[in-house]
Chain A
Amino acid sequence: MPPKNKGGGTRAKAPEQKQEAPKKPQTIRELGWQWYYDTNPHQKAYEELGLSGMTPADRQAYFDQEYLKPGRAKTLSNKAQKELWKRVNEANIPLRNLPRPRDDQWGRDKNGRDIGDYTVEEFWEYDEKRDRYVRLLYSSIFFRSNNIRAIHSEVPDGAHKIYTCSDEELEAERARRKEMAELGKDLYGDKTDPYALDPDWDDVVPIPQSEPEGALAAIAYPGDYAEAMSYLRAVMAAKEYSPRCLRLTEDIISMNPAHYTVWLYRFSIIEALNISIPDEIEWLNEVSLNHIKNYQIWNHRQLLIDHYYPAIAATPSDVAALAESEREFMARMFEQDAKNYHVWTYRQYLVRKLGMWGDAERQSIEILIHEDVRNNSAWSHRFFVVFSDPAYATPDSHATEHDPKVPAEIVDREIQYAKDKIILAPQNQSPWNYLKGVLVKGGRKLGTVKEFAGQFIKNLGDVSAEEVRSSHALDLLADIYKEAGEKEQAQLCLTRLGDKWDRIRRGYWEYKKKMLDQP
């Protein structure tokens, strides 16, 4: 039935309603509700007044709108349909309407905030970002499917490649993925890992770590470490040697330099790609300075030198230049820690490999001993440089063995050097050990330094007047007496050491007294 007082009834009520809620919608939720009521004009009346309270005109319009829903109009008879359409026209009922908003229809953003609470402007921004993300996603999917064809299509040699992937496309894809990553992070809090982002790595299927429940010493890895490791495992299993793998090893090494297979893998890549060894050594220098306690670094360095040496072996100037640059770098390492065992071990290897025997090396060590006369590593290296020199020493002569081939001048020189350094700090043990080692090496009797040792001791045996400036001198004296067969004197020295001059080691001095009976 056409509403007779169509305008009057609704218009009479409408101003009241408008006065009750005149404010503009602040949030998108409110805007949503506004749209809902705009497209369902009689809904408000229905809610507030109920079917019995609504005016007949409103009621009719409300029902008509129900009949506008898909398929329902056809259920009426033709005559009723015509009347329906006439009424709808006159009442300006919207032909399509929005569904009733639900509270949770807007969802939450990455911070847990309800999107429905966004202001209208915020929401449009958000929506725009979402739209952009989806468009980028589709472009990326398109690129991926093309790219895979480009990589995997088998082309007979010399034939024209049908599927190609040009550099511009690659760059565009990189930019696209970067933007997607940012948007994803912004919108959804997605953390996209650098390797998943890089289209270079699309063809590699990472192998993530799997460990059973209840692991021991589990570490809270940062996300990028776990991801980089899964890519590393994949390329190592496939034994791929390429520049991208080199970069991957660098990444892993920066996070875990003690990984015991990645260094070997890196070396294999360097061999396979013929990377310039001096460049690699420069890179390694930086890493060494950052991780001074790591020994795999020095192992790697050794492999590099082994690999590089045949190329320069024929040119002595190149070898000398390498020796100099290595010495310089080792000096930098020694500034940080003058006793770094790995560096000293490497230095010994280098001396043998590059033939760095002789004065230059010895003087370099003398500088270190001058800086710190108690640097036992430097003393040890000196012994090696002097007594393993292939120019005059017996090859593979053991450190504790007499080597008759060593010239007497060298032995004399070393004895004098040790004595000079002992005078500087008589209680420093390093040069005393050195002195004894040199005497044994040179086949000299310990008794030849009896006077020297004696100068640090006065009135031995006289408890009140005894003066000892170096307990090591007293120890050496005991050895000298033993060598000469003067057991009682030796025992006196050891007793005085145990009683007063080195009490902490009284257990040892007792032991040594026992050993006096043995050769």
Chain B
Amino acid sequence: MTSSPDPDQPPLDTARHIRYWQRCFRSLLPHHYTANDSIRLTLGFFIVAALDLLSSPSSYSEPPSNPSKASLITPDDRKRLRRWVLSLQHPLGGFCGSPHHVLPAKYTTRWDPMTETKVALDPANANIAATYFALLLLGILADGDGSKAYEGVKRTETLRWLKRLQRDDGSFGEIVDEDGYVGGGRDMRYCYLAATIRWILGGAELGEPEDLNVDALVAHIRRAQTFDGGMGETSMHESHAGYAYCGVAALSLLDRANPDAAAQPNRYLHAGISSIPSLVYFLACRQFDYVDPNSDEENEDGEASNNHELPDVSNLNLSDSAHITGFNGRFNKVADTCYAWWVSGALTMLGESRVLDRGPARKFILEKTQHLIGGFAKHPGGPPDVYHAYLGLAALATMAGAEGAKEEGLGRFDPRLCIGVEASERIAKGRQALLAPPEEDDLSESEKEELERIKKRLNWDKTLERMERMKAKWRAEGRIASLEMEKWNPYDPPKWNDSDE
């Protein structure tokens, strides 16, 4: 149902935003961004995702005949950016946050002769947030239908590394170091990042024991609901809309990855939230009437207040329907653009987006925080930044999609992955390609028979078993398998009889 444009509603000036994003895309960020050096992948994600959202096929009024030409990201851009993202991959799984965290090969990998595996020398450089953004970027940047999105990604290594990031209580951290210590907090953000990475790389298909401990993760998320309905780091921390989104999205992605999803559509969503109505209450309360702070109002010490203005309830007028509403992240805090996204995204996934009032929310974003040079600011009147600019677009797209409407110039949006729907479909295709069975060896029937005969003659399976037993024995004794085998005479290796151990 497309509604005719409300004359009271300001338009989204997509041309201005496109110029803003093009500038971020093409030029060097100034030196003030040095403190953001470790999250360049994150910044890059916002820029590319915004350009994609503003030029995806559904953003046009008529679907373009050549989507690849209609996109603001040219095929050449896609190639070189893919190469850049893949250059940030850690050889043993995971991605690094920026080129400053990528060391030359000899400093990253070591062959451990005891376990006969490669071991990372600098495992702490692989970061869960960087991995998440990298995988989403590869999906957005994929050509065509996306089946080649994840070529070059080390699926098994990354999933194994991800598993090591899970603690005993089900929570996830940010990095893991050589001693196995999991660094970073234990909050919902990491749960969400982990659930997304698991879905994209097909962790569920690995099966136990390599798959994450899903039940522990769900229990950890369930324990995060607080006394006022929201989600915090734990149930005793303050409730926060960002964590609420991350919790809901994590559960939603666990559901998406559930091989049994058809039979139990919202299994994890219900298992992970002890009271959905309380959570809906918390999210609904995040929207409030926005009142411009009076500059001449009596304020202690003349400082800007930390709290949003309260309307005078005793003085309410029926005609005073809220014209403009802001969103905050916690009770009593001031309005911040990005919470429009976290709240509407969470409610959409819960299926209760109607508890929000779209019109006034949209007005706040477009009238108060949309900036002259493009992008959106954190607070009204502030300068735009890459993070809020993208999440402002995300909020507008989500709220429009929830009503079945369309935001002019913005494509359809997927609230679970926080990217456009077409990009999300490319990721799904890329994921399928990753999980597709490997191609059969090109052996003809006769060659296969010959192979079987040779294996039989050499007693191949038994020999392999024996080798494994001997290696296990040496490992238990603390010896290195390859060195022991070097002691054998290659022309006269020890003969094993069936009677030997």
Mark A residues whose CB is within 8 Å of B.
Answer: 207, 209-222, 225, 229, 233, 236-237, 255-261, 264, 295, 299, 337-339, 341, 344-345, 348, 372, 374-377, 380-381, 383-384, 387-388, 398-400, 425-430, 433-434, 436-437, 440-441, 467-471, 500-501, 503-508, 510-512, 515
**At the interface with chain A, which of B38-46, B251-259, B423-431?**
B38-46
CB-defined A-B contacts under 8 Å, sample of 25: A214-B84, A216-B25, A217-B24, A217-B47, A220-B31, A221-B34, A222-B34, A237-B107, A237-B121, A256-B38, A261-B101, A264-B124, A338-B306, A344-B237, A376-B238, A376-B330, A381-B238, A398-B223, A399-B227, A425-B310, A437-B227, A470-B313, A504-B321, A508-B284, A508-B355
Is residue B120 within 8 Å, beta carbon to beta carbon, of the partner chain?
A: no
* B496 interface hit (Cβ, 8 Å): no
The reply on B37 being an interface residue by CB < 8 A is: yes
Contacts of A225 in B (CB 8 A): 34, 37
Q: Is B112 an interface residue (CB 8 A)?
A: no
Known: A217-B29, A501-B316. A508 touches B332 (CB 8 A): no
Asked whether A377 lies within 8 Å of B277 as measured between CB atoms, the reply is no
* B131 at interface by CB-CB < 8 Å: no
Q: Are A507 and B355 in contact (CB under 8 A)?
A: yes
- Measured CB to CB, the closest approach of chain B to A455, in angstroms, equals 14
Note all chain A residues with C-beta closer than 8 A to B41.
217
**Could you tell me the distance in whole angstroms from the C-beta of B244 to the nearest C-beta in chain A?**
14
Closest A residue by C-beta to B37:
A256
- Docked-complex contact B330 and A504, CB < 8 angstroms: no
Q: Is B472 on the interface with A (CB-CB < 8 A)?
A: no
Contact of B37 with A221 in the complex, beta carbons under 8 Å: yes
Does A219 lie within 8 Å of B31, measured CB to CB? yes
- The answer on a CB contact under 8 Å between B183 and A219 is no
Whether B38 lies near A259 (C-beta < 8 A) is: yes
Interface residues of B in 152-189 (CB under 8 A from A): 174-175, 177, 183-185
Chain B hits for A345, CB < 8 A: 185, 233, 237
Residues of chain A contacted by B352 (CB below 8 angstroms): 511
B28 → A minimal CB distance (Å) = 5
Answer whether A264 and B236 are a contact pair too, CB < 8 Å, given A429-B332, A501-B313, A504-B357: no
Which residues from chain B contact A299 at a C-beta distance below 8 Å? 183-185
B360 touches A341 (CB 8 A): no
For the complex of A and B, the 10 pairs showing the least CB-CB separation, nearest first, are A437-B227, A214-B80, A216-B44, A508-B284, A399-B235, A433-B228, A380-B238, A211-B99, A508-B355, A376-B331
Q: Tell me, yes or no, whether B460 is within 8 Å of chain A by CB.
A: no
Q: Which residues of A contact B127 (CB under 8 A)?
A: 260
Contact status A237-B238, CB under 8 Å = no
Listed in ascending order, the chain B residues whose CB lies under 8 Å from chain A are 24-25, 28-31, 33-41, 43-44, 47-48, 77, 80-81, 83-85, 87, 97, 99-104, 107, 121-122, 124-125, 127, 174-175, 177, 183-185, 223, 225-228, 232-233, 235-240, 274-275, 277-278, 280-281, 284-285, 287-289, 306-307, 310-311, 313-314, 316, 318, 321-322, 325, 330-333, 352, 354-357, 360
Which of B104, B185, B354 is close to A295, meaning CB atoms less than 8 Å apart? Answer: B185
Check B357 against A506 for contact (C-beta < 8 Å): yes
Query: Least Cβ distance of B89 to chain A in Å?
Result: 12
Give Cα A221 to B44, complex, Å.
Answer: 16
Complex contacts, B85 vs chain A, CB 8 Å: 216
Measured between C-beta atoms, what is the minimum distance from A120 to chain B in Å? 42
A344 to B16 alpha-carbon distance, docked (Å): 39
Contact residues in B for A515 (Cβ distance below 8 Å): 277
A433 to B81, CA, bound (A): 48
Q: Which residues of A contact B37 (CB under 8 A)?
A: 219, 221, 225, 256, 258-259
Determine the residue in chain B with the shortest Cβ distance to A505.
Answer: B284
Q: Are A511 and B35 in contact (CB under 8 A)?
A: no
Other A-B contacts than A258-B35, A339-B333, A427-B313, 6 sampled, CB-CB below 8 A, are A237-B121, A255-B34, A261-B124, A339-B306, A383-B236, A467-B314
Most A-side CB within 10 Å, residue of B223, B284, B311, B356: B284
**A237 B122 Cβ-Cβ under 8 A:** yes
Contact A215 B84 (CB under 8 A): yes
Are B40 and A219 interface neighbours, CB within 8 A?
yes
Q: Max chain A CB contacts within 10 Å: which of B37, B275, B310?
A: B37
Interchain CB contact under 8 A, A507 and B331: no
A515 CB to closest chain B CB (Å) equals: 5
Chain A's nearest CB lies how many Å from the CB of B223? Answer: 6
CB-CB under 8 A from A341, the residues of chain B are 238, 240
Complex contact A222–B31 (CB within 8 A): yes
CA distance A409 to B291 in the complex (A): 41
Is there an interface contact between A257 and B35, defined as CB atoms closer than 8 Å?
yes
Check B84 against A399 for contact (C-beta < 8 Å): no
**Complex contact A468–B313 (CB within 8 A):** yes
Residues of A within 8 A of B29 (CB): 217-220
Cα A255 to Cα B240 in complex, Å, equals 30
Q: Is the beta-carbon distance between A372 and B307 smaller than 8 angstroms?
A: yes
B333 adjacent to A214 (CB under 8 Å): no
Distance in angstroms between the alpha carbons of A510 and B177 in the assembled complex: 50
State whether B354 touches A511 (Cβ < 8 A). yes
Distance (Å) between the CB of A504 and the closest chain B CB?
Answer: 4
B289 touches A504 (CB 8 A): yes
The CA of A344 and the CA of B232, in the complex, are separated in Å by 12
Query: Which chain A positions have C-beta within 8 A of B43?
Result: 216-217
Closest residue on chain A to residue B360 by CB atoms: A504
Query: Quick check: B332 and A430 within 8 Å, CB to CB?
Result: yes
Q: Is the CB of A377 within 8 A of B238?
A: yes
Q: Contacts A255-B34, A256-B35, A341-B238 hold; do A377 and B330 have CB atoms under 8 A apart?
A: yes
Q: Which of A237, A256, A261, A375 is the one whose CB lies under 8 Å from B34?
A: A256
| CB <8 Å contact, B44 and A471 | no
- CB contacts (< 8 Å) of A383 on chain B: these are 227, 236
Which residue of A207, A337, A400 contacts B104 across the interface (Cβ within 8 Å)?
A207
Q: Chain A residue with minimal CB distance to B87?
A: A212
Cβ-defined contact, B236 with A348, below 8 A: yes
CB of B192, distance to nearest CB on chain A (Å): 16
| CB closest chain-A residue, reference B39 | A258
Please name all residues of chain A whose beta carbon is closer than 8 Å to the beta carbon of B25 when the two chains form the complex: 216
Residues of A within 8 A of B280 (CB): 508, 511
- Using A214-B83, A341-B238 as known contacts, say yes or no to A508 and B281 having CB atoms under 8 A apart: yes
User: Which B residues touch A430, using CB under 8 A?
Assistant: 331-332
Chain B residues, CB < 8 A from A214: 77, 80-81, 83-84
B284 near A217: Cβ-Cβ < 8 Å: no
With A218-B29, A504-B322 already in contact, the answer to whether A441 and B227 are too (CB < 8 A) is: yes
- The listed residue with most A CB atoms (<10 A of its CB), out of B24, B238, B277, is B238
Residues on the B chain within 8 Å of A220, using CB: 28-31
The answer to whether A255 touches B284 (Cβ under 8 A) is no
Can you name the residue of chain A whose Cβ is closest to the Cβ of B334?
Answer: A339
Q: Name the one of B48, B99, B285 contacting A429, with C-beta atoms under 8 angstroms.
A: B285
How far does the Cβ of B47 sit from chain A's closest Cβ, in whole Å?
6
- Give Cα A481–Cα B201 distance, bound, in whole angstroms: 49
Distance of A333 Cα from B480 Cα, bound (Å):
54
Complexed CA–CA distance, A212 and B33 (Å)? 20
Once A299-B183, A380-B226 are accepted as A-B contacts, the answer to whether A348 and B237 lie under 8 Å apart by CB is yes
Q: Chain A residues near B237 (CB, 8 Å)?
A: 344-345, 348, 380, 384
**A438: nearest residue on chain B (CB-CB)?**
B227
* Smallest CB gap from A302: residue in B: B185
Q: Given A212-B87, A515-B277, do A505 and B355 touch, yes or no (CB 8 Å)?
A: yes
| Minimum distance in angstroms from B32 CB to a CB of chain A | 9
* CB <8 Å contact, B228 and A337: no
Is A219 a contact of B227 with CB atoms below 8 Å? Answer: no
Alpha-carbon distance between A408 and B356 when the two chains are bound, in angstroms: 39
Whether the Cβ atoms of B310 and A428 lie closer than 8 Å is yes
Given contacts A220-B29, A338-B306, contact A229 B100 (CB under 8 A): yes
Q: How far is the CA of A218 from the CA of B30 in the complex (A)?
A: 9
Q: How far is the CB of B235 from chain A (nearest CB, A)?
A: 4
